[in-house]
Amino acid sequence: MTAAILGRRAWSRLLRHRLAWASLVFLAVMMVLSLTAPLIAEWRGIDPTQTDLFRRFEPPSAQFWLGTDDLGRDLLQRLLDGGRVSMLVGLSGAVLSAILGALIGVTAGYLGGRLDAFLMRFTDGVISLPLLPLLIVVAAIDPRKLGVPAEIAQSETFSLYRIVAIVALTGWTTVARLVRAETLSLKARDFTRAAQALGARPQRIMFRHILPNAAGSLIVATTMSVGALILLESTLSFLGLGIQPPAASWGNMLTGAQELLQEAPVLALWPGLLIFLTVIAFNFLGDGLQDALDPRSERR
């Protein structure tokens, strides 16, 4: 059976998963709106970073479609800018976690022996650490004390890269265990033994034969981890240790709104609702991909 036929069947199974399909449409719309947020702001003639204390807490209007926040900034544009940051952190962190976890998992599973035991015990050690306190400690480290120049450490770009690195360094363990299990199964297959008999090097077998055949499980795990990483970024930003103002993320928007719940609850409602919907959508999409990439689901 060719890869094209398998791809069409997987796509057909995904289309039958209504929640996954609806989630895919929602996420696509959110990504397009977030990526085009600067163009939308220019088209509307609004600067989302400009403060105007005379226009605080304005209700929705023709100019401000969702109203303004406590500093007179357009709430809709802040949400779109925050969505770009939050989803960038989630997607980038998930991809980096998948790469790191896949490398560790395929190496441990294929080479085995003491290296496998060491890598898996290291993975178990990372899993056993309390995640949120660990993230808080790592995020609270002042990069200037590590030799990073002050102008770089205080820039918006550095805070974004730092939070991506933090969530990636703690999110690879699940992928590593999953890829190791897949590698142990694929290592006993005939095509792997044939490659070994032909004298292929271990690196070629791992990256040309085993990892491509484990891609389905890897894609599902990566997709389902995006939502968890968005929650982690939102939690750190909510605690003041993630994306730093004036850059917007859904997490630090919730931080700014927590003292205004009685005066303007809508400032917390919108970012909280978008975090909830985005995380749920990624989880539904991962569930749909799991069914679509598993041929046994068609028989069920």
pLDDT confidence of residue 265: 86
Residue with more model confidence, 299 or 47 = 47
Q: Which of 34-38, 213-217, 220-224, 290-294 has the highest mean pLDDT?
A: 34-38
Residue with more model confidence, 64 or 100 = 100
74 φ, ψ (degrees, to nearest 5): -65, 125
H helices of 142-198, where?
150-153, 156-170, 173-186, 190-197
* Domain range 74-293, CATH class: mainly alpha
68 φ, ψ (degrees, to nearest 5): -125, 165
Peptide bond into 246 cis (omega under 30): yes
Question: What is the C-alpha separation between 64 and 46, in angstroms, rounded?
Answer: 9
Q: Which amino acid does the sequence have at 181? A: A
Question: What does the pLDDT look like over 76-90, one tens digit per residue?
Answer: 998 998 888 888 888
135-168 CB burial, b ≥16 within 10 A, e <16:
beebbeeeeeeeeeeeeebeeeebbbebbbebbb
Question: What does the pLDDT look like over 36-53, one tens digit per residue?
Answer: 988 988 888 888 888 888
pLDDT category of residue 299 using cuts at 50, 70 and 90: very low
pLDDT confidence of residue 1: 45
Residue with more model confidence, 233 or 272 = 272
Query: What is the average pLDDT score of the chain?
Result: 82
pLDDT confidence of residue 28: 92
pLDDT confidence of residue 61: 85
pLDDT confidence of residue 300: 46
Question: What does the pLDDT look like over 104-148, one tens digit per residue?
Answer: 999 999 988 899 999 999 998 888 887 777 777 777 777 777 777
Question: What does the pLDDT look like over 218-260, one tens digit per residue?
Answer: 888 888 888 888 888 787 777 777 777 777 888 888 887 887 8
Residue with more model confidence, 209 or 241 = 209
Q: Does residue 166 surpass a pLDDT of 90? A: no
Query: Residue 52: which region, alpha, beta or left (left: phi > 0; alpha: psi -120 to 50)?
Result: beta
Q: Does residue 195 surpass a pLDDT of 80? A: yes
What mean pLDDT comes out for the span 99-105?
92
Domain residue spans of the chain = 74-293
Q: Does residue 60 surpass a pLDDT of 80? A: yes
Per 3-state DSSP, what percentage of the chain is helix, strand, and coil (rounded to 5)? 75, 0, 25
